[in-house]
Amino acid sequence: MDHDSSTLGHAARVRSHQRRTAAVHWIRRMHGWIGLWGAVLGLLFGFSGIWLNHRNVLKLPQAQERTRAQLALPEPAPETPEAMSRWLQEALRMSGPPNSTRVEPAKPVAWADKNDREAPALTQPAHWVFNFGGPNEMVQAEYWQGNRSVGVATTHNGFVATLTNMHKGGGMPLPWILLVDTLAGSLIFLSVSGVALWMLTHRRRRVGLAVFGASLVAVLALALSAL
């Protein structure tokens, strides 16, 4: 019985070791491939993040050029935000629809005297804002419903400003946002898999847990101090 129990225990330890080895190999392989996928974007976000974090000290030139103009509306003027976006895309010769649209409905003005019941009700007209372009050139069209023209602000960005917009997602289309989401998911996986590899391949687990715990406490302390 003792011999059989010893044999069964040894076999269980061997199977456990094999499963552990297989898990380590899989995590290492996925860690490498996912790290390779996000390497280029990681460099981009790393360099632009350093500049953003120290922009007041580094003082790199943004090299931005801004122009403003008024674009006359046709007769009759587009009546809906959807119709306006289609007209603006054609009038501004944009290759695609707006990256984002903000529609603010008409509402009472904040400065109206609510105690004067005899005063006529003042209403702020609907406000539509359309953002076109990409990180190197951004075009914002602003329309107050009832006007006969649309205000158009165009911003031409230099290299540093372009990197900054790519980092922050300013003026970026949906495919770029989804691509950055994959990078964010990759960072989450790399963090989790890195901790898992440490726990599976190092015997000094308490040291690793202590380092991880200290890092977590430092991040939480900095986050709470900013509230």
Burial class (CB in 10 A: 0-12, 13-18, 19+), 188: exposed
pLDDT digits (tens, 9 = 90+) for 25-65: 888 888 888 888 878 778 878 877 777 777 667 666 666 78
Global confidence as pTM: 0.57
CB 138 within 8 A of CB 154: yes
pLDDT digits (tens, 9 = 90+) for 152-178: 999 888 777 777 777 777 667 777 788
Statement: residue 213 has pLDDT above 90: no
User: What was the pLDDT predicted at 72?
Assistant: 93
Bridge partner residues of 132 (DSSP): 139
